[in-house]
Amino acid sequence: MADAKGALQLHDLGLLCFDGQDSAAFLQGYLTTDANALDATPALTAMCNIKGRAVLTGYAWRQEQRIMLLLHQTLCAVALDFLRPYLAFSKTRAAVMGGGVIGAIGLNLGFPALNLDDERQVLILEPSDGPASGFGKSANLLENAPPLPLDEWRQAAIDRREVWLEAATSGAFLPQMLALDELGAVSFTKGCYLGQEVVARAQHRGQVKRRLTRLEWSGAPVMVGAEVQDANGRGAGVVVAVAGQGVAAAAAEGHAGAALAIVAEGANPPLAAPNGATKFNKCATA
């Protein structure tokens, strides 16, 4: 991804806004990271259910008394429904924000762009932002930026072993299965949050038997949520992220690309989709 450069509108991402004097205190009981330590720089985080399974992953940051949470579009309504019973007892309002999200790689944009890492940035376009605002000016600037294919954006996340959970994969995996602990998206010192006891137990007892694995795929296109089977036809894992580029050698024969999957330890290769139309190979550098 070192040569990738450009911008695109990220239609598959959405934004939740938590507003009110208790926003940080409220989210402290649900985010896997320390909500009280949030600042203007987006931080990778997650939210778990009572069984310790991640309901969503995304980036959170503080904007004055508001806390913003960037996540997959299919989980915006899910997250609000999940939190509604708890919000009733807090001085915090939560809502889906309209406007849009623009992603950029390699452009080194200034404010109001937000840095996800040293290459990726996002711009949040609020509905009230007019053409004369800072957001509006940035949007106009991006109209003249090189177009960035969506697969380039997805590949950049895969290269970082970063999973954006969506409806097909929500509520199924411990944070450690998604390598969130390796990426600094789980705090083991912040105190209690929903699912924390299960997450901590798995960490200290080493009970996680399924791990995030980098795969290269070829053959029929693969979707997030697709099952991965081992050589004996047994379920060995689930695809949690896909990009449609990668294996040049297989491109002449059909589709090919990269993926992340939660795969059982010791899964017997070769790995494939249930119908055998898609083949998976583990990456040595994953």
Q: What pLDDT score was predicted for residue 208?
A: 87
What one-character-per-residue DSSP string does 238-271 give? EEEEEES---HHHHTTSEEEEEEEEEETT--SSE
pLDDT value at 129 more than 60: no
CA–CA gap between residue 116 and residue 265 (Å, rounded): 31
pLDDT value at 251 more than 50: no
Q: Fold match between 6-159 and 209-282?
A: no
Compute the mean pLDDT over every residue in the chain, rounded to the nearest whole number.
Answer: 89
> Which position has the higher pLDDT, 132 or 203?
203
Peptide bond before residue 270 is cis, with ω within 30 degrees of 0: yes
pLDDT value at 179 more than 90: yes
Which of 140-154, 166-180, 182-196 bottoms out in mean pLDDT, i.e. has the lowest? 140-154
For residue 131, name the pLDDT band (cuts at 50, 70, 90). Answer: low
CA–CA gap between residue 99 and residue 165 (Å, rounded): 21
pLDDT tens track for 31-72: 999 999 999 999 999 999 999 999 999 999 999 889 999 999
Residue 134, phi then psi, degrees to nearest 5: -60, -40
Q: What pLDDT score was predicted for residue 143?
A: 74
CA–CA gap between residue 257 and residue 269 (Å, rounded): 18
State the pTM of this model: 0.92
Contacts of 22 (CB under 8 A, 6+ apart): 90, 91, 92
What one-character-per-residue DSSP string does 151-180 give? HHHHHHHHHTT-----TTTTTSS-TTTTTT
Answer whether CATH 2.40.30 is correct for domain 209-282: yes
CA–CA gap between residue 187 and residue 180 (Å, rounded): 10
pLDDT value at 159 more than 80: yes
For residue 236, name the pLDDT band (cuts at 50, 70, 90). Answer: very high
* Distance set, CA 7 to CA 27, 95, 119 (Å): 31, 26, 12
Query: Residue 61 is which amino acid?
Result: W
* Distance set, CA 247 to CA 21, 148, 254 (Å): 50, 20, 10
pLDDT value at 166 more than 70: yes
pLDDT tens track for 199-215: 999 998 877 899 999 99
Q: What pLDDT score was predicted for residue 125?
A: 84
pLDDT value at 254 more than 70: no
CA 192 to chain centre: 23
Tell me what the mean pLDDT of segment 151-163 comes to: 96
Q: Which CATH class is domain 6-159?
A: alpha beta
130 class by beta-carbon count within 10 Å (0-12 exposed, 13-18 middle, 19+ buried)? exposed
Q: What pLDDT score was predicted for residue 247?
A: 43
Give the residue extent of every domain in the chain: 6-159, 209-282
CA–CA gap between residue 75 and residue 111 (Å, rounded): 27
Tell me what the mean pLDDT of segment 111-127 comes to: 90
For residue 138, name the pLDDT band (cuts at 50, 70, 90). Answer: low
pLDDT value at 228 more than 90: yes
Helix, strand, coil share (%) of the chain residues, nearest 5 = 20, 30, 50
Q: Is 252 left (phi over 0), alpha (psi -120 to 50) or beta?
A: alpha
